């Protein structure tokens, strides 16, 4: 009588080997599953070729170069009071002078050297703090998640500008305290975003398999999860640069940031309040803030479209990549 059991083919005979060591065709091999499966974010050139994205990148790079080359570009010392007061643009100066005889063009150039680096520093620090808090809360959960998210909710319960004003006023008027106040109100957004992304990835097969193989939590976060959340965090950071510039300039405008005679865009707009007839004192710093904020917003929108996997559209029978 023939044995009803199916004999497993021998791999040495050239036939495909059957399931071994309890790993069946429908089961997950922990060794292969533990390999980090992350896809490198692909920039879709069709999106990046959009005029607004390219324009924003060009303007942003231009302002960064202006900040770096301010000592070379500025024709006058931004603190020197050796020019006629309230001189209109075109009468010997490109953007006129303020009530103390300082060249407005030179102060706008040097203001970029103050505002833009501080805004970039603020965004980088917010990303680091928020990403660490959100990743730890989302990965470990339970009490850690509960405490971290309650602190985040407490900060986000207050209007951002109002809370930043209160903190800056309590710490004292200075650029450092303004950056610290803005940092306190900025990191929760990154914490919530990172936590949500980590919650969606920590139960993935490759993450669970890595834990079964003995991977430490730090290794799982850094090797398996972090590469998959870089894209959304980078998009939020690029969009937040403009917000950081507005927040820091707003604090300086209210007297809670840069102190006179520092050349800072927000404080320059504040100085123009006392001289409404001399429109150029506040218009040119305001235009500088406007162009930088819009430029980085354009870059952030283009970057979001480029990294969003759902942004593929079918045009003319082909998929835009």
CA 207, 208, 212, 214: dihedral to nearest 10 degrees? Answer: 30
Instruction: Judge whether 227 lies within some domain.
Output: yes
* Residue 150 included in any domain: yes
Per-residue confidence at 246, pLDDT binned at 50, 70, 90? Answer: very high
Say if residue 81's pLDDT is above 70.
yes
129 domain residue, yes or no = yes
Is the pLDDT reported for residue 21 higher than 70? no
268: closest CA among 37, 38, 104?
104
pTM: 0.78
Its domain, for residue 153, covers 42-78+92-308
Domain count, the chain: 1
pLDDT band at 10 (very low <50, low <70, confident <90, very high): very low
Residues 263-319 pLDDT 10s = 999 999 999 988 888 999 999 999 999 999 999 999 988 888 877 655 544 333 444
Residue 49 lies in a domain: yes
**262 falls within a domain:** yes
d(CA 211, CA 267): 53
Q: Which residue has the tokens 């010997």?
A: 92
pLDDT at 5 over 80: no
**In CATH, what number is assigned to the domain containing residue 46?**
1.10.3720.10
Residue 144 maps to a domain: yes
Weakest mean pLDDT among 29-33, 61-65, 315-319: 315-319
Of 12 and 195, the structure prediction assigns the larger pLDDT to: 195
Q: How far apart are CA 90 and CA 99, in angstroms?
A: 17
Mean pLDDT of 167-175: 92
pLDDT of 49 strictly over 50: no
SS3 39: coil
Is 24 within the bounds of a domain? no
Q: Is 291 exposed, middle or buried (0-12, 13-18, 19+ CB in 10 A)?
A: middle
**Dist CA 221 CA 215 (whole Å):** 10
Grade residue 229 by pLDDT with cuts at 50, 70 and 90. Answer: confident
Distances 55 to 45, 213, 294 between C-alpha atoms, Å: 15, 49, 10
The residue ranking higher by pLDDT, 107 or 23, is 107
> Would residue 10 count as lying in a domain?
no
Please name every residue paired with 16 in a beta bridge, in sequence order, or none if there are none: none
């Amino acid at each position: 009588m023939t044995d009803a059991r199916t004999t497993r083919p021998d791999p040495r005979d050239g036939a495909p080997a059957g399931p071994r060591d309890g790993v069946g065709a429908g089961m997950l091999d922990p060794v292969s599953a533990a390999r980090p499966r992350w896809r490198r974010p692909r920039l879709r050139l069709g999106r990046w070729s959009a005029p607004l994205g390219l324009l924003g990148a060009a303007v942003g790079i231009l302002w960064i170069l202006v900040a770096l080359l301010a000592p070379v570009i500025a024709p006058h010392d931004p603190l020197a009071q050796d020019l006629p007061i309230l001189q209109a643009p075109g009468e010997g100066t490109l953007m006129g002078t303020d009530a103390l005889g300082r060249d407005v063009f030179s102060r706008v150039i040097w203001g970029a050297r103050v505002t833009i680096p501080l805004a970039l520093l603020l965004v980088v620090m917010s990303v680091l703090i928020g990403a660490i808090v959100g990743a730890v809360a989302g990965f470990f959960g339970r009490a850690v998640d509960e405490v971290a998210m309650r602190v985040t909710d407490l900060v986000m319960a207050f209007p951002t500008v109002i809370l930043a004003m209160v903190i800056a006023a309590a710490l004292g008027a200075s650029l450092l305290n303004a950056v610290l106040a803005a940092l306190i109100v900025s990191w929760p957004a990154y914490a919530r975003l990172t936590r949500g992304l980590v919650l969606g990835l920590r139960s993935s097969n490759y993450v669970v398999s890595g834990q079964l193989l003995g991977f430490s939590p730090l290794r799982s976060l850094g090797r398996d999860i972090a590469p998959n959340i870089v894209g959304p965090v980078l998009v939020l950071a690029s969009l937040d640069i403009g917000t950081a510039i507005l927040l820091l300039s707003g604090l300086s405008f209210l007297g809670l940031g840069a102190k006179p005679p520092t050349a800072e865009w927000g404080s320059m707009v504040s100085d123009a309040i006392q001289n409404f007839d001399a429109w150029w004192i506040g218009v040119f710093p305001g235009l500088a803030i406007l162009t930088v904020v819009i430029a980085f917003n354009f870059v952030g929108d283009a970057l979001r479209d480029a990294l969003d996997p759902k942004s593929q559209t079918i045009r003319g029978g082909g998929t835009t990549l």
